[in-house]
Every structure is written in structure tokens, then in C-alpha cells.
């Protein structure tokens, strides 16, 4: 359905643009994945861009939900653009996604300069696009022409020459980007050999097309994908081979994994993490990472950064982040033999497993525990829940015909349901078990038997999760009303099944009260998961309490790492 044209860029236009960009990338994701050959032919640029924009959409929607959509409380342009940039920053994936996050941040720095500004005109959009292109180029340690940076610069140049309202400027930027994209094979040898345009640039053109549609109500078309007619025949052949293959063989597999791809060399690992650090520390980090590897992109500011680099020594890249500040949401991908990011020219297509488990986990320690048990994990940091696209990507990564999905959080149930539905359209059989805590997921995983019939396995895992009562001990961030009374910031809260049941001042005493209440209804096994800020004495005291007061009840203790809660408790 066509959008109602808008002359100015305001908060509602930002919201519309983000939604249209996500839809455009969703339609083009597989196409962009298929032409991805630079800097690494890993076939996931389209997916990474989609996940980056999905995170931006989530952040913008949260702003509108908080402010409301009408009256004096509606979001300002600054509110919307800052949310868009922050969402993209924390959700950025891969090289192109990280650069796109910086492009959006660059625009926000111009558009949010005045917090009271209601909207901006064509001149403001021109300035924003120019600053976006410049800041993205500065974020890349060694800029290369023929990439998304070239396309962004061309868009800014064309916009700078346009005169008129936002629609006119957006159309000029799109036309300039499209022309630059068509020229990328002549600027980068790897693109010319493969006969394709730059995948990241193709994604940016899709985002700019969405910007045109936001202002004009019509989406432009005709984006180049291949370099010329001869190469087009090669690409069409590859796509036809995928279209003819059974869905069970191709579901979730990037198109370039089914066709020959150019040989690629370079570092073995892609390392990505969010980093809390000061500007001066990040300057030193850039120098160190630049010496360790290539494809270095560091974006962000104001104390929060997204770091992306390709290296042979992944540990050294992470250690460099530790020295600079606090890295988290660390992702390490191996480009080597057998990895899902390796092209078809370098390895045979991997046979799908019959069944796999995909689980969302709140801390690095639990991620290790789940991984050892055979699950594919998605790490969720406090306040940063994974988007549905990230869960779909994990289901694909599990590479199985049947998948059991454990969201391990009541707030993620709808997100997980959307991911499951998407995966099913790709030919994967997915069962969603509505686990509300990681301890319920542990119980489900403990009884998982891949050799059983799928339905029987799901029923058994669901029963085990449902028979596990769960609780957590956290520190209150602010004064608030609870089921147990009024709590103050800094109070220790004991939550049972999601509701505050105990308000205390001491972690150990509060945890013991919670445990006693849970065991009053009986139990055979107590699971304790300690966060990295929990006192070491907590587990010792609770284990002793179980031995002294509850006969025939066993206790198992795990280290969860940075999981948000001081303590998770499960009683089976």
C-alpha cells in the first residue's frame, strides 16, 4: 500500500522510513546474501543489514510507545533519530551493518542537534546525508573504494546538488547511490571477477529507496545486482539451481553457498563486540586492532561503541577491548572449514542434523553450559533482548530439520513465536517451548533426547520446564510499588515466578527466604545460577541450608557471568 507523501522529515517520517527500510531489506535479504563476496564471501550481508535495521526499528517503536503518538507528549525528531541510531548501534551485525549503524548515527548527530526541533526540510536532510557519509568513512580504518562507503559518498554528493523538499533530496540521493552501485565492479577487482555489485552498497540503496518512498509514497525500482549481461547469466544460473532444489536442502542457506565463489584469503575470525569506553581508550584500541587484522570498523561515541574486525587471533582482539573498557555481547565467527560463513568453493554443503535446540541465555557462563549440552545459543544482555531476526539466524545456524526453541524469558515469547513462524516458512520444523527462565531451559535440556520422536521429545521437555519453579534475586534500580510493598533503589528483591515476593537489604538473607518459600511446596533438585556480582558466600550458604533443612534434595551450582540478576533459582 502506498505511503502518504510527507514534505518534511519529522519523528513520524523517521518511524515510517525505518519500517519501510526493514521491509525492503527483508525482500532483498537473500539476493544481497547471494552477491556478498567482499570483504569476505560469507553470504550474510543482507541478513546482517536486516538485523541491524530491525534493532533500529525496535528502538524507534519503543520511543513512540513511551511518548504516545499524539498530543504534546509525542516524540520529537531528536527523540526518533537518536533512538534509530542507538538501536542500530547495539544491534549492528557484520561489516556492512556496522557501517550502516554509523551512517544512521551521523544523520542523527545533525538531525538531533536541536532537541526541540519538530521537523527538518530538504536542506537539513542534505546536511545529514553528508555528515553520515563522512562519519562512516572516518570510522573505517582503511577505506576501500567500490564499497558501501563509495555508494554513501555518491548519495551525499548527489543530495548536495539537489534543490527542493525532502522528497527531492531523497530521490537525488537514491539516484546517485544507484549509479555509484552500478560502477562498483569497475572499482573493486573481487566484484568484477564475481560479476556482481557490492552487497553492502546494494543494501544501502534499498534503505535509500525506502527514504524516497517515505516522502513520495512510491518506491523506486530497478536496482543493479550483477555487473553485465554475461555475469547476469551466471547469477541467474545459480539462482535457478537454488529454486529447483528441495526446500529442505536450501532453507536458510545463502545462495552463494550453492554456487562457486571466488577464493578468499585473509584472517580466520570475525570479532564483534559492544564496548563501554572513553574516547581516548578507543583511539588506542583502533591502533592496536588495526595492527592485528583488517576490515576494522569502530562506530559509536558517548561512551558506547560497536567494534568489528577480522583477525587471526580472536583472543587478542577481545583482550584489546578489555584493556580499553568493558566489552560485551561478544561474537566470534570462524571463517574456516566447516563454518556456516565459508563459501561453497571452499567446502562441501554440510548435511543437516535431524534435530537441534536453540536457546536464549542471559550470560556467558550459561551460554557455555548450554553449548556443552549441544544447544545453539543466543546471548541476551540485560536491557538488550534479541530481535526475531537474530533468533531466525540462530535457527538457521543450528542447521537441523527439526528445532526446539527455548526463549527462557516471558518477555520474549512473542518474539520467539515470530522467529519460529519465519523458520517454518523456510522448511524447518520448529517447536516453541515457552520457557520463562534459563533454569527452566536447563531442566528442558536435561531431558532432551534427539533419538525420540520429535513430538515426544517436545512434550517431555515441556513437562520438565513446566515442573520447574523459578526465581531470581536482583537489586532494585529505583523506588517502585511491588506485590510485596514499596521498594527503594538499592533494595534486594526476590522475585518468584516473575512477581516480587521478598524485599530485603542483604543478598544472602533474601535469597534464603526465597528458597525456603519455593521449597515449602516440595522439590527434588535446586539449581543455582550465580551472576558475576553475587557474593561467593551465597551459594555456600544456600547449599548448606538445603542440606540442613531439606532431606533428599540435591543442589547444583553454575556460574552465569554477566546475566543481569545476582542469582537465578530453579526448583524441580
Distance of CA 462 to the CA centre of its chain: 27
Q: Give pLDDT, residue 286.
A: 92
CB 51 within 8 A of CB 387: yes
Q: Residues 239-293: pLDDT tens digits?
A: 333 333 333 333 333 333 333 333 445 787 888 888 999 999 999 999 999 998 8
Are 176 and 218 members of one domain?
yes
Considering the domain boundaries, does residue 410 fall inside one?
yes
Are 285 and 241 members of one domain?
no
Q: Quickly state the pLDDT bin for 432 (edges 50, 70, 90).
A: very high
Are 99 and 243 members of one domain?
yes
CB 419 within 8 A of CB 359: no
The CATH number assigned to the domain holding 527 equals 3.30.1180.10
Are 162 and 26 members of one domain?
yes
CB 105 within 8 A of CB 83: no
The answer, yes or no, to whether residue 382 has pLDDT greater than 80, is: no
Are 460 and 475 members of one domain?
no
Alpha carbon distance, N-terminus to C-terminus of the chain: 51
Q: Give pLDDT, residue 241.
A: 32
Are 27 and 135 members of one domain?
yes
The CATH number assigned to the domain holding 200 equals 1.25.40.340
Reference 155, options 138, 145, 140, 170; nearest CA is 170
Considering the domain boundaries, does residue 343 fall inside one?
no
The CATH number assigned to the domain holding 364 equals 3.40.50.510
Considering the domain boundaries, does residue 549 fall inside one?
yes
Considering the domain boundaries, does residue 3 fall inside one?
no
Considering the domain boundaries, does residue 346 fall inside one?
no
The answer, yes or no, to whether residue 4 has pLDDT greater than 70, is: no
> What is the model's pTM?
0.61
Q: How many domains does the chain have?
A: 4
Helix (H, G, I), strand (E, B) or coil at 440: helix
Q: Quickly state the pLDDT bin for 564 (edges 50, 70, 90).
A: confident
- Cα separation, 154 vs 382, in Å, equals 39
Are 248 and 236 members of one domain?
yes
Reference 523, options 554, 547, 494, 498; nearest CA is 554
Is 538 buried (19+), middle (13-18) or exposed (0-12) by CB count in 10 A?
Answer: buried
Find the mean pLDDT for residues 451-458.
Answer: 92
Is 219 buried (19+), middle (13-18) or exposed (0-12) by CB count in 10 A?
Answer: middle
- Cα separation, 89 vs 354, in Å, equals 36
Reference 42, options 330, 307, 261; nearest CA is 261
Considering the domain boundaries, does residue 284 fall inside one?
yes
- Cα separation, 297 vs 312, in Å, equals 16
- Cα separation, 92 vs 97, in Å, equals 5
Considering the domain boundaries, does residue 420 fall inside one?
yes
Are 150 and 285 members of one domain?
no
Which residues fall within 8 angstroms of residue 256, CB to CB, at 6 or more apart?
A: 33, 34, 35, 36, 37, 41, 43, 238, 343, 344
Structural domain ending residue among the three candidates 425, 443, 466:
466
Backbone dihedral angles phi then psi of residue 171, each to the nearest 5 degrees: -65, -40
Q: Residues 471-506: pLDDT tens digits?
A: 999 999 888 898 889 999 999 999 999 899 999 999
Q: Containing domain of residue 385, as a range?
A: 353-466
Are 328 and 370 members of one domain?
no
Structural domain ending residue among the three candidates 410, 443, 466:
466
Structural domain ending residue among the three candidates 435, 466, 497:
466
Of residues 70 and 393, more confidence is placed in 393
The answer, yes or no, to whether residue 34 has pLDDT greater than 60, is: yes
Q: Residues 323-361: pLDDT tens digits?
A: 999 888 777 777 653 344 433 334 344 567 889 999 999
The neighbour count for residue 225, using CB atoms within 10 Å, is: 20
Q: Residues 116-164: pLDDT tens digits?
A: 667 788 899 999 999 999 999 999 988 999 999 999 999 999 999 998 8
Are 180 and 61 members of one domain?
yes
Find the mean pLDDT for residues 207-233.
Answer: 72
| CA-angle at 566, arms to 471 and 488, nearest 5° | 90
Considering the domain boundaries, does residue 229 fall inside one?
yes
- Cα separation, 273 vs 314, in Å, equals 11
The CATH number assigned to the domain holding 287 equals 3.30.70.120
Residue position matching grid coordinates 541510531 = 85
Please, what is the average pLDDT of the chain?
84
429 DSSP assignment: E
Are 475 and 450 members of one domain?
no
Q: Give pLDDT, residue 126.
A: 94
Are 245 and 316 members of one domain?
no
CB 495 within 8 A of CB 524: no
Find the mean pLDDT for residues 26-34.
Answer: 89
CB 430 within 8 A of CB 405: yes
Which residues fall within 8 angstroms of residue 499, CB to CB, at 6 or more apart?
A: 482, 483
Q: Give pLDDT, residue 551.
A: 84
| 61-94 burial: b if 16+ Cβ within 10 Å, else e | eebbeebeeeeeebbbbbbbbbbbbbbbbbbbbb
Amino acid at each position: 500500500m502506498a505511503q502518504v507523501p510527507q514534505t518534511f522529515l519529522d519523528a513520524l517520517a523517521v518511524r515510517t522510513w525505518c519500517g519501510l527500510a526493514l521491509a525492503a531489506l527483508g525482500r532483498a535479504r537473500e539476493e544481497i546474501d547471494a552477491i556478498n563476496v567482499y570483504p569476505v564471501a560469507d553470504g550474510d550481508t543482507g541478513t546482517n543489514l536486516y538485523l541491524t535495521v530491525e534493532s533500529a526499528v525496535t528502538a524507534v517503536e519503543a520511543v513512540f510507545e513511551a511518548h504516545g503518538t499524539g498530543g504534546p507528549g509525542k516524540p520529537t525528531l531528536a527523540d526518533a533519530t537518536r533512538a534509530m541510531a542507538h538501536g542500530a548501534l547495539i544491534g549492528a551485525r557484520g561489516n556492512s551493518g556496522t557501517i550502516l549503524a554509523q551512517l544512521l548515527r551521523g544523520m542523527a548527530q545533525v538531525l538531533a542537534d536541536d532537541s526541540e526541533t519538530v521537523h527538518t526540510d530538504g536542506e537539513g536532510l542534505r546536511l545529514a546525508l553528508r555528515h553520515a557519509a563522512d562519519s562512516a568513512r572516518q570510522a573505517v580504518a582503511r577505506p576501500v573504494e567500490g564499497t558501501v562507503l563509495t555508494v554513501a559518498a555518491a548519495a551525499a554528493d548527489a543530495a548536495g546538488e539537489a534543490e527542493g523538499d525532502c522528497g527531492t533530496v531523497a530521490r537525488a540521493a537514491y539516484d546517485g547511490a544507484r549509479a555509484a552501485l552500478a560502477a562498483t565492479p569497475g572499482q573493486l577487482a573481487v566484484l568484477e571477477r564475481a560479476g556482481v555489485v557490492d552487497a553492502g552498497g546494494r543494501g544501502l540503496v534499498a534503505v535509500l529507496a525506502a527514504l524516497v518512498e517515505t516522502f513520495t509514497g512510491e518506491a523506486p525500482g530497478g536496482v543493479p545486482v550483477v555487473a553485465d549481461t554475461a555475469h547476469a547469466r551466471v547469477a541467474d544460473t545459480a539462482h535457478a539451481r537454488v529454486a529447483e532444489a528441495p526446500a529442505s536442502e536450501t532453507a536458510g542457506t545463502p545462495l552463494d553457498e550453492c554456487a562457486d565463489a571466488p577464493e578468499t584469503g585473509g584472517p580466520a575470525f570475525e570479532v564483534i563486540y559492544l564496548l563501554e569506553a572513553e574516547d581516548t581508550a578507543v583511539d588506542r584500541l583502533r591502533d592496536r586492532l588495526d595492527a592485528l587484522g583488517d576490515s576494522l570498523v569502530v562506530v559509536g561515541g558517548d561512551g558506547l561503541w560497536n567494534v568489528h574486525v577480522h583477525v587471526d587471533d580472536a583472543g587478542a582482539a577481545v583482550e584489546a577491548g578489555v584493556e580499553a573498557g568493558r566489552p560485551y555481547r561478544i561474537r566470534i565467527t570462524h571463517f574456516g572449514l566447516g563454518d556456516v560463513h565459508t563459501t561453497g568453493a571452499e567446502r562441501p554443503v554440510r548435511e543437516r542434523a535431524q534435530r537441534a535446540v536453540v536457546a536464549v541465555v542471559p550470560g556467558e557462563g550459561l551460554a557455555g553450559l548450554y553449548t556443552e549440552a549441544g544447544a545453539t545459543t543466543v546471548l541476551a544482555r540485560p536491557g538488550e533482548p534479541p530481535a526475531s531476526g537474530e533468533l531466525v539466524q540462530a535457527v538457521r545456524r543450528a542447521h537441523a530439520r527439526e528445532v526446539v526453541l527455548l526463549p527462557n524469558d516471558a518477555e520474549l515469547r512473542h518474539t520467539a513465536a515470530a522467529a519460529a513462524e519465519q523458520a517454518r516458512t523456510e522448511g524447518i520444523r520448529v517447536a516453541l517451548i515457552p520457557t520463562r527462565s534459563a533454569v527452566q531451559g536447563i531442566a528442558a535440556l536435561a531431558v532432551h533426547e534427539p533419538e525420540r520422536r520429535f513430538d515426544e521429545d517436545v512434550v517431555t521437555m515441556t513437562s520438565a520446564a513446566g515442573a520447574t519453579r523459578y526465581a531470581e534475586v536482583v537489586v532494585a534500580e529505583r523506588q517502585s510499588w511491588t506485590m510485596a510493598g514499596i521498594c527503594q533503589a538499592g533494595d534486594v528483591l526476590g522475585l518468584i515466578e516473575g512477581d516480587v515476593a521478598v524485599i530485603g537489604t542483604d543478598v544472602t538473607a533474601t535469597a534464603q527466604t526465597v528458597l525456603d518459600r519455593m521449597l515449602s511446596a516440595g522439590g527434588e533438585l535446586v539449581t543455582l545460577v550465580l551472576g558475576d556480582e553475587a557474593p561467593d558466600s551465597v551459594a555456600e550458604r544456600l547449599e548448606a541450608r538445603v542440606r540442613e533443612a531439606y532431606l533428599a534434595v540435591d543442589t547444583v551450582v553454575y556460574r552465569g557471568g554477566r546475566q543481569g540478576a545476582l542469582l537465578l533459582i530453579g526448583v524441580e
